[in-house]
């Protein structure tokens, strides 16, 4: 192969690899529901003999580095009377956990740098805080976390989430609170105080700002780039295939030419084992007939 063709083949392989990697990136799903189940199992596995009112860190496998999960067990009566102030979360008194049970567990979930993998905002918004989630479960002597989820019903005073650790530098935009609802829908709310969001139930929350094309997340840009490169790769693949087929056809013809003695011209064709110059066809026809008989 000459140098030109080596280049084509090298490009072909690079494009195929890029295309496959972009495909894998697209197909990789970060399913939040199954992650939630995983958190519960992990909490039950890791936390032995939990004390009431103590916040426990849950250790996660190393491929989850960057996420943080904490759990606390409480008596629902005490939760109702005193509320809960810890970390980002401020639950006022008289929030009713439902269904009515004696004990409950609250999971604190901080998705850190995984936030944009598990939670999507429309492309005209940019997440400016990690996603924080708090979920309530029933709890009993048998299981720290039971399968049953609990609702927290606020009466008047909202639950507050403090994103005080988030500071936007050099941006004029005021962040907007976002709650992630079922099937990818979002609920927007203005902040009640700077970097404080109001919540009226459990769920996953973050802050967003309206985004321009220029401050899209790097992840999106790579995603698009992967697709473009993959597409170009496909086009190149087709081009290379066409070129190769053409080249091999040419090579065959060249071979024919070479095989024909003394470089006879194209107007040669084969009858059985005998080579006939096309031009002499008419003239030599009698000879042909003789040969046949």
Ligand X SMILES: *[C@@H]1O[C@H](CO)[C@@H](O)[C@H](O)[C@H]1NC(C)=O
3-state secondary structure of 1: coil
Site string for ligand X, 195-224 (x = CB under 6 A): ---------------x--------------
Is residue 206 within 8 Å of residue 120, measured between CB atoms? no
Q: Which of 39, 43, 187, 172 is nearest to 121 (CA)?
A: 187
Q: How many residues bind ligand X (CB under 6 A)?
A: 21
Q: Which is nearer to ligand X, 61 or 286 (CB)?
A: 61
- Judged by CB under 6 A, does residue 170 bind ligand X? no
- Judged by CB under 6 A, does residue 52 bind ligand X? no
Q: Among 189, 260, 268, 284, which residue sits at the site for ligand X (rule: CB under 6 A)? A: 189
Helix axes 218-259, 3-27, angle to 10 degrees: 140
- Judged by CB under 6 A, does residue 92 bind ligand X? yes
- Judged by CB under 6 A, does residue 113 bind ligand X? yes
Which H helix or E strand runs over 271? strand 268-271
- Judged by CB under 6 A, does residue 26 bind ligand X? no
Q: Which of 171, 203, 206, 172 is nearest to 188 (CA)?
A: 206
Q: Among 6, 188, 269, 270, which residue sits at the site for ligand X (rule: CB under 6 A)? A: 188
Q: How far apart are the first and last CA of the chain?
A: 47
Q: Which of 240, 235, 226 is nearest to 17 (CA)?
A: 226
Q: Which is nearer to ligand X, 10 or 113 (CB)?
A: 113
Closest separation in Å from C-beta 175 to ligand X? 11
- Judged by CB under 6 A, does residue 32 bind ligand X? no
- Judged by CB under 6 A, does residue 66 bind ligand X? yes
CA–CA dist 199, 154 (Å, integer)? 9
Closest separation in Å from C-beta 125 to ligand X? 6
Residue 62 gets which letter from DSSP?
A: G
Give the burial class of 253: count Cβ atoms within 10 A of its Cβ; 0-12 exposed, 13-18 middle, 19 or more buried.
exposed
Closest separation in Å from C-beta 238 to ligand X? 35
Q: Among 82, 94, 162, 216, which residue sits at the site for ligand X (rule: CB under 6 A)? A: 82
3-state secondary structure of 24: helix
Residue with tokens 């404080």: 196
Pick the piece of the chain touching ligand X (CB under 6 A) from 89-97, 192-200, 216-224, 253-261.
89-97
Residue 173 gets which letter from DSSP?
A: P
CA–CA dist 192, 90 (Å, integer)? 14
Pick the piece of the chain touching ligand X (CB under 6 A) from 78-86, 127-135, 253-261, 263-271.
78-86
- Judged by CB under 6 A, does residue 85 bind ligand X? yes
- Judged by CB under 6 A, does residue 63 bind ligand X? yes
- Judged by CB under 6 A, does residue 194 bind ligand X? no
44-63 burial string, b = 16+ CB within 10 Å, else e? beebeebeeeeebebebeee
- Judged by CB under 6 A, does residue 277 bind ligand X? no
Pick the piece of the chain touching ligand X (CB under 6 A) from 117-125, 192-200, 236-244, 250-258.
117-125
- Judged by CB under 6 A, does residue 184 bind ligand X? no
Residues that bind ligand X (CB under 6 A): 61, 63-66, 82-85, 90, 92-93, 113-114, 117, 122, 124, 188-190, 210
């Amino acid at each position: 192969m000459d140098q030109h063709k080596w280049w084509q083949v090298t490009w072909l392989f690079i494009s195929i690899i890029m295309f496959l990697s972009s495909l894998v990136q697209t197909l990789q799903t970060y399913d939040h529901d199954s992650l939630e189940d995983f958190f519960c199992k992990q909490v039950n596995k890791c936390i032995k003999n939990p004390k009431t009112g103590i916040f426990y860190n849950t250790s996660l496998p190393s491929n989850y580095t960057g996420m943080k999960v904490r759990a606390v067990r409480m008596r629902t009566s005490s939760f109702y009377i005193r509320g809960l102030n810890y970390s980002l979360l401020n639950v006022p008194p008289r929030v009713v956990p439902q269904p009515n049970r004696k004990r409950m567990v609250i999971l604190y979930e901080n998705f850190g740098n995984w936030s944009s993998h598990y939670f999507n905002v429309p492309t005209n918004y940019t997440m400016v805080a990690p996603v924080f989630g708090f979920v309530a479960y029933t709890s009993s002597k048998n299981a720290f976390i039971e399968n049953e989820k609990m609702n927290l019903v606020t009466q008047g005073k909202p639950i507050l989430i403090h994103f005080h650790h988030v500071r936007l530098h050099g941006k004029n935009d005021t962040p907007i609170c976002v709650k992630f609802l079922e099937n990818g829908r979002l609920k927007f709310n203005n902040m009640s105080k700077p970097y404080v969001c109001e919540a009226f139930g459990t769920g996953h929350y973050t802050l967003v700002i309206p985004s321009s094309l220029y401050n899209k997340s790097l992840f999106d840009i790579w995603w698009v780039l992967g697709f473009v490169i993959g597409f170009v790769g496909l086009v190149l693949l087709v081009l290379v295939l066409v070129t190769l087929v053409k080249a091999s056809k040419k090579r065959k013809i060249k071979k024919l030419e070479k095989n024909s003695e003394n470089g006879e011209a194209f107007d040669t064709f084969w009858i059985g084992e005998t080579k006939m110059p096309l031009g002499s066809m008419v003239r030599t026809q009698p000879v042909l007939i003789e040969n046949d008989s």
